[in-house]
Amino acid sequence: MIKLDNIVKIYNPKKSNEFEALHGISAEINDGEMVAIIGKSGSGKSTLLNLLGGLDAPTEGKIYYNDTDISSMNDTELSKFRLQNIGFVFQFFDLIPELTAEENILLPSKLARKKGEGADKLYQALGIQDRIKHYPSELSGGQQQRAAIARAMINSPDVLLCDEPTGNLDRKSGEEVMALLKDLNAQGKTVIIVTHDRGIAQQCGRIIEIADGAIV
């Protein structure tokens, strides 16, 4: 279970440009859920995702993964926790252009000093087995996002955090990516998707709506 306990996020505290992005967010996400965090641009949904992923720290409040309080971890501890427990999928894929698809996918396993076990099976499941030796510039948007999902899954994390995962794709590719995410959820992965698209959100099991830094 992921638990958010009265999360506040303030940027530039005690300065003239201080901005409170999140105001006392509390929520629970059960293991194996597929949850959409929906809101307009500037609502605070991406800030919340960054906090869930340990990419940023709350100003106040606690974030728990089961009994582990990640909000009290230092940078080294957070990096290790992310590698072992969380996979990230971004709107713009964030593949390294100088690396092949396979090299991009295997990068987290190398950072975690693992051997990338099950990589071939993952390529097959995502339908990119014939494209892994290609560079990102040689892949379609849908293929790049499939590679990004494979990279997120290579260390077998329990939680997948997706920031607008279909936002940079055409409709067909977007539908294929959502089908892949739903399949991963059916296999027991917790999937959290940040989106502004209600059509995407309605494909999830639960919707958390954010407006002006608070849960509606």
Q: Work out the number of other CB atoms within 10 angstroms of the CB of residue 51.
A: 24
Q: What is the pLDDT of residues 141-185, one digit of tens each?
A: 989 988 998 999 888 899 999 998 888 888 888 898 899 899 999
Q: What is the pLDDT of residues 24-39, one digit of tens each?
A: 999 999 999 999 999 9
Instruction: Give the whole-angstrom CA distance, residue 64 versus residue 71.
Output: 8
Q: What per-residue confidence (pLDDT) applies to 174?
A: 87
Q: Read off the tokens for 175.
A: 């539908």
Alpha helices in the chain (DSSP H): 45-52, 75-85, 101-111, 119-126, 141-153, 171-186, 198-201
Instruction: Give the whole-angstrom CA distance, residue 212 versus residue 214.
Output: 6
Q: What is the pLDDT of residues 102-127, one digit of tens each?
A: 999 999 888 888 776 778 888 888 88
Q: What is the pLDDT of residues 83-107, one digit of tens each?
A: 889 999 988 788 999 999 999 999 9
Task: Write down the mean pLDDT value for the chain.
Answer: 91
Give me the residue spans of the domains in the chain: 2-215
Share of the chain above pLDDT 90, in %: 62
Model confidence, pTM: 0.89
What's the CATH class of domain 2-215? Answer: alpha beta
